[in-house]
Every structure is written in C-alpha cells, then in structure tokens.
Chain A
C-alpha cells in the first residue's frame, strides 16, 4: 500500500524517537486548544534539526502528503488540527535558545522554545520579549509567529509581528527561506510580513530572531469603577485623546466583575456597571507622571472609585481577577463559547448594547471582557448543551456577534486566528476577489497546496456556515493556563 512506502521514507528522515504512528501515540495530536474538532493524523514526525525538517518536507512533497506544523498545540482556532491522511510536523523537540545578544538586543531561538522562556533567558541582561499571550508559559514562539499572537500589552508594545527581526523557514518543496534580518532594511519583498500570521500555510519556520526590549523598572495599575459602560468607554477615549498610552487597558462588564469577584476575591467593586484596569510601566518618573495623569482623566470621565496598586503584590491581585475571567465564566453555566472579535473602540457601548439585545433575542446570557486598549472583545456566551436547543442558539448568537463586529468596522479575529474555527466567517470579512488573492499568494509559496490545507483561507464554495469554540463544563484544554 502506498502509505507504507511513504512511512518508511518518512522514518528515514528522523531518528527512531522522531516518528509516531500508533493510534495511542497519535491520539495526543488529534486536536489543539480547540477540542471540539478532532482528527487523527497519519503520523506525527518530530525532527530535531532544520536538515531533518527539510528532509521531512521533501519526503512529503515527493509523496504529495499534507503537512500540519504544530508547536505546543495551545491555539484556540484549530490551526494545528491534523488533516485526514496528512502528517503532523511537531517542532517541540527543536527547543533550543541558540543565542541571546545583549548588545544587539535580540534572541535567536528554535521554534519550539516557550514564549516565557525567552524572557527568562534574557532577564539577567535586563531585557525581555514583550508579546505576552495568556498561554505564554506553555505556547511556543513558532506558534506565536504562525498566529501573530497578541497579549495584554499589545497597544503599547505591539503584536508578535512588531517584535520580530528574522525567521528561517522551509517551503513545502524543502527550500530554505531567510526572511528579515537584524539590519533594519532588506532588499526585496518583506517576506517576514507574509510569513507572520500565515497559520502554517506558507512555510515551516525553523528559527526565529526576536527583538528584546529593556525591562521596565516599575509597573503600577489603577482599578477604576464606572456607573455605566458608556462612561468607561469615554474614559478610554479620553486617556488616548490626552496622549496617554497605557501599558495595559482592560474593561470588564458588571456580569464578568461579579463572576470573577466571587471566584478569586480580587476586591473588585461589584456594584459598578463596568471596571477598567489601567496600567503604566517604565521608569519610576514615567510611571509617577502617567499614574497621576491617568487618575485625573478617569475621575473626570466619571469614575466612582479609584484604587492605585501600592505594591507588586497588590498589582498582581488586581490582575488576578481579570485573568480569571474564563474559569469564572465556567462557574456560571455548564458551557460557554468564547468569541474573539475586534471593534473600533468608540463603538464599544453600542456593541455591548447590541450584544445584550442579541443575547436576549436568543434567550441566553453573555458576559464581556475587552482588551480596551486595542479594541479586542471576548464575549463569553453562557449556555447548557444538555438543555434543549441551547447549543444551537449559542452558535447562532455567536455568529450574529461576529457579524456585528464586522458591521461596525471590526474584524472576526483579533488574536486567536482563523484556523478551522472561523474559516467560514472569512467570507463575511472578505470578498471573493480578496479570497482569490489569498489563494494565489498561498500557491506562490506552496504550489502543491500541501501545507495546512483547508485552514485559514476558505475555498469560495465553502462560504456558508460558522463554527465555534465550544467549552463543555469549563473543560478548556490546558485548563490550568490563564486565558484572557
């Protein structure tokens, strides 16, 4: 049978521990953080060197077998879901930090290195890697590049794409590409921009050079309570209008505040319609000036209570509530759907009203957490899959919420990626001509269409229905990771 020839060729590309083919071994790789979708791969291959990655890709190209690259598998959109008859190319064994350059402020690492490990390795030089997705203790930098991962500090420090210097990547034909560099300009097209956020469709990344920043000396956070969501939204606009860029700026509605307060007792005011967490970081002088200016703006916008963290312990307590929003939601109902839309900030009050209206229409509750700094909204739809048609109604509500985000000028995904989960919603975000252009770009990198087929970019005939992140009984995969 043709598979046996392929598998024996594949076995020759890696060491004995580098190939998994038994059903129980493959089971571990049948899904990523989006556990609602599962598929067993034909095999899992775990190379340890770039040369082995090249050999694996050439072998798959020769046999025309699909390849799904995978890091830690913490993604929430099914980007690392295996495809039927294809292999999973796991990069977790390529986990060496190759070089930290304190003078040049860069780190050169293999794709399987955990996000948090980079900052840990750079700490002794007073440097760190800024993007901090919530799963940073587990997620790998290769996956961060593939998804263009965000984090709480995006507004001030940017996404993954803004903190990358260079990558080495292998095309599906086994050719090495070097994109970007430590020098500020490179001749030719900026292929680093094409590769970042390409969800494993264009090439397999084998090495990454990231920019390191000097660690801020101090951070302080303000906890502000507001009588209406509108007032909190005005406060956000006024902060930015005054030229203040907080290091972190997070908004929670009352339902979320009450849920997390009963869950972690962070000292949140549960009578407020909305609360804002507003963080400043930098030198002691900068933080003092920022906190003073921020406090004044928040008060003038109608904040009814204002608390400034007086110690690092108190700062972490204020953040603990925000970081517990997802597990707290799981206490409110047996199931929840997490959405990931972005909106222009000034439409916030209107969008939250719209979501409340849609939720009532569908007979379900929905609580909201919001990266207010960068307009990234995470509505959590609460339901019980065992009750009548609630699952169906939750799916319909989620669809309407994302349509609302697009309608106000936003996007269907801010940081979780399209993967398989939102592939149909791509048809709401983009027209046919754009989708055809995406397909042409994909084919330029991967003419045989072997890398992560069926993800991120829908075929035109697929534009029909929506998929969701479905969480049953609070059992999010990697439930020990904070999600925010």
Chain B
C-alpha cells in the first residue's frame, strides 16, 4: 500500500494536481477549506495496525491510519496511555490525523502536548520518497527534529504513514474534585495550584463550576485532597471521558446569534469582563467564547495583546470575520519550508495559510 501511495504522490507532483489527505475524516468539519476544492483524496485510513509495542520501553510504533481508540485499547491492556489524552471522536480519529492536527485533551498542560509524545515518524514527501526521522528511543538528537515539526503541520509538508510514540503508565489512582467558582477565581486558582507540587492532571470550568482531576499514588491524591478542599465528584472517570470527547461547549450553551471562538492564551491571562468565557480548560490556556459577530474585532485585539490566538470555531453566518495573519517574514518562511518538503505544493494546499 505504501508503494501505491508513494506513486500517487509522485504522480500528483509530476502533474501538479493537489491532493487532500484523509484519515478518519473526524476533524474535517473544523479545518480550513483547501485551495481548489474538491481535490483528489490521498487516503491513509486503510493503513492501520500496531507495528511494534514494547510496554517496558514505553514506546509504541503504529501505522498512521490506526484509529486512536484502537491504540488506546492496546495500551490500556498494559495499563499504559498516551499522555496527551487526544480525543477519539466516535472512534473515527486516527493516529495520523491526531499528529497532523496536534489535537490534545485534558492532560495537555500537565503531561505535554501531542508533540511531546512523538519519538519518530515515517512520512512521504512531495517527491514520493519514504523518509524516517527520529526513532524508537527516548533520546535522539541526530539531525533536525522533523518528527515534531510534522506535528500540527496539518499535512502541509507530507503524508505521515507511521509514528513511534512515547507512552506512559496509567496513574495508580485518580480523583476528581468540584468547586463552585467564578471564572476569574477559577483561572487564578488553577495557575496558583499549578505552581505547587500537586498531582494535577486536568481542569475544566463551565457555568460557575470548576472540576479538577488528581492523578498518582493514592496517598499523594488524598494528601492533595485535604490541602485543596472542594467536593469529591463520584463519577470522575466518566466525567473526563465525556469532557475529553467534547470539542468546546455543547451547542445548547450558545445563543442563536453567537459565533463560537476557541482561544489559546497564556494560562495566567486574567479574564476579560466585557467578553466572559463559556468554558475554560487546560489550566486557563484554552478558553471558549460565544460572541456576536460585531464583537469579534474586540476579541482579536484582546487576544493579540495577550500574546494569544483566537480562532473562529463555528460561525452563525458566512460573513467575514477578522483574523490574526502571520508576519510577512513568517509567511515567507512557511512557504519556503513547505516548498522544501512539497516542491509542487500538492499536499492540502492552503490548509495553514494562503500558499501553505
């Protein structure tokens, strides 16, 4: 199958006919539209399976089309996990799509993002060459770190076909605590707690209720519970299962004339009283806002000033919204890097920026 994919890519480059990379299709609705759609599909979804798994090495090597849910099941049998807790999205999310989009879950600020779990990848570049970067060992500083550059590249540089991932033991115990708190208090408290030696592993605030998860040795969790107070949430495991699969607040929380925005911010950024959040995750680093279209300029101004980034997630109409374009130097560099991997510009054209 890889030979067929290599040939398809080489042909596309030769004829300058762009391709749309597709894994499980679970995130298609949230991605930027590609230039020149509809495009021929480059399908990696059928390339699935565990290539190698050595639990005591803390490494698993897996084909890119493998559903994340399948990977999780294999790991769970050895009481291990992918620490970034990326969503499975109805068992449709694949390993390749998760790496390409860098989508992480509740454990993100405490155990690292998707890039922190990547040790090596195999990919096909625009010339149809099968390339291997990184490896299956924890420490490897030979050559540029192309494996981690591929994380979040949205397929703009090439097709990920296989990855070696760092895996981590499941915590011995977990406990979820619940607090009634305003947005500002929750954000402040989450940042203060993160600076203390506490076994925090997840946080979620919505509608005046903050949930946090503690993970680790039972004794350590109990000591933290005594220190933090709050109410013990009886069904914590299911709560996080649900929250990690929810991408943003449920639609029912949004008013009819509101856009949904996703904000990535320095976690300690104080809330904006004029634009309150609907939901706060990742210790304050990920926030969701419902806004009228005419409020979006204000949001972009505030997000830029805070060194953050706002992304329109769901719009009420097709009218134009302001964005935060990259600098000219950054855009030029992006185009040169794209061209270094994909000289004919055939992979997911325009998925990151215009021409990238």
Contacts and interface: CB of A to CB of B under 8 A. Distances in A.
Given A103-B192, A184-B286, A409 B108 contact: no
A365 interface: no
B309 interface: yes
A187 B141 contact: no
Nearest to B147: A193
A189 B195 contact: no
Interface residues of B, number: 88
B101 to A, nearest CB: 10
Contact of B144 (A162, A371, A441): A441
A187 B139 contact: no
Contacts of A183: 264-266, 285, 307-309
A267 interface: no
Interface residues of A, dominant DSSP: loop
A346 B57 contact: yes
* Most B CB within 10 A of own CB, among A162, A178, A244, A285: A285
B176 to A, nearest CB: 19
Nearest to A175: B329
Interface stretch (B37-45, B213-221, B250-258): B213-221
B169 to A, nearest CB: 3
Contacts of B54: 344, 346
Interface residues of A, number: 97
A375 B153 contact: no
A196 interface: yes
Contact of B145 (A154, A194, A440): A194
Nearest to A160: B141
B197 A217 contact: yes
Contacts of A198: 144-145
B169 A244 contact: yes
B199 A342 contact: no
Contact of B341 (A101, A201, A283, A440): A440
Interface string B333-356: 110110111000000000011001
A243 B169 contact: yes
Given A103-B268, A437-B131, A443 B340 contact: yes
B282 interface: yes
Interface string A269-285: 00000000000001101
B191 to A, nearest CB: 5
B228 to A, nearest CB: 13
Interface string B193-210: 011111100000000000
Interface stretch (B89-97, B112-120, B233-241, B271-279): B112-120
A102 B193 CA distance: 11
B285 A103 contact: no
B133 A104 contact: no
A444 interface: yes
A446 to B, nearest CB: 10
Interface stretch (A307-315, A425-433, A473-481): A425-433
Interface in A174-205: 175-178, 181-191, 193-194, 196-198, 201-202
B131 A433 contact: yes
Contacts of A375: 57, 137-139
Contact of B266 (A104, A217, A438): A104
B27 to A, nearest CB: 14
B66 interface: no
B142 to A, nearest CB: 5
Contacts of A282: 197, 216, 220
Contacts of B115: 190, 193
Contacts, number: 271
Contacts of A154: 138-139
Interface string A375-390: 1100000000000000
A64 interface: no
A430 B143 contact: yes
A37 to B, nearest CB: 19
A126 B197 CA distance: 9
A104 B267 contact: yes
Nearest to B265: A183
Contacts of B140: 342, 411, 413-414
Interface in B90-112: 102, 104, 108-109, 112
Given A190-B153, A193-B115, A344-B54, A444 B220 contact: no
B194 A187 contact: no
A243 B79 contact: yes
B135 interface: yes
Contacts of B131: 433-434, 437
A184 B135 contact: no
Given A342-B137, A374-B137, A422-B142, A125 B195 contact: yes
A215 B143 contact: no
Contact of A177 (B132, B329, B340): B329
Given A104-B266, A183-B308, A188-B330, A158 B141 contact: no
A286 interface: yes
A418 B143 contact: yes
Contacts of B135: 342, 409-411
A103 B199 contact: no
Interface stretch (A86-94, A234-242, A329-337): A234-242
B185 interface: no
Interface in B164-193: 168-170, 172, 188, 191-192
Contact of B146 (A101, A346, A437): A437
B138 A147 contact: no
B35 interface: no
Contacts of B353: 187-188
B136 A429 contact: no
Nearest to A198: B144
B51 interface: no
Interface of A: 101-105, 125-127, 147-148, 150, 154-155, 158-159, 161-162, 171, 175-178, 181-191, 193-194, 196-198, 201-202, 214-217, 236-238, 240-241, 243-245, 282-283, 285-286, 288-290, 342-346, 371, 373-376, 409-418, 422, 426, 429-431, 433-434, 437-438, 440-445, 447, 456-457
Given A184-B104, A374-B137, 19 more contacts: A103-B195, A126-B195, A178-B330, A183-B307, A187-B309, A187-B326, A190-B151, A197-B141, A197-B145, A202-B144, A215-B197, A286-B219, A289-B217, A342-B138, A414-B140, A430-B142, A441-B144, A441-B146, A443-B340
14 contacts: A126-B195, A126-B197, A148-B141, A178-B330, A188-B356, A194-B146, A214-B198, A216-B197, A240-B57, A240-B169, A245-B168, A285-B217, A411-B142, A441-B146
Ranked 6 nearest A-B pairs via Cβ: A243-B169, A182-B266, A193-B148, A440-B340, A374-B138, A414-B139
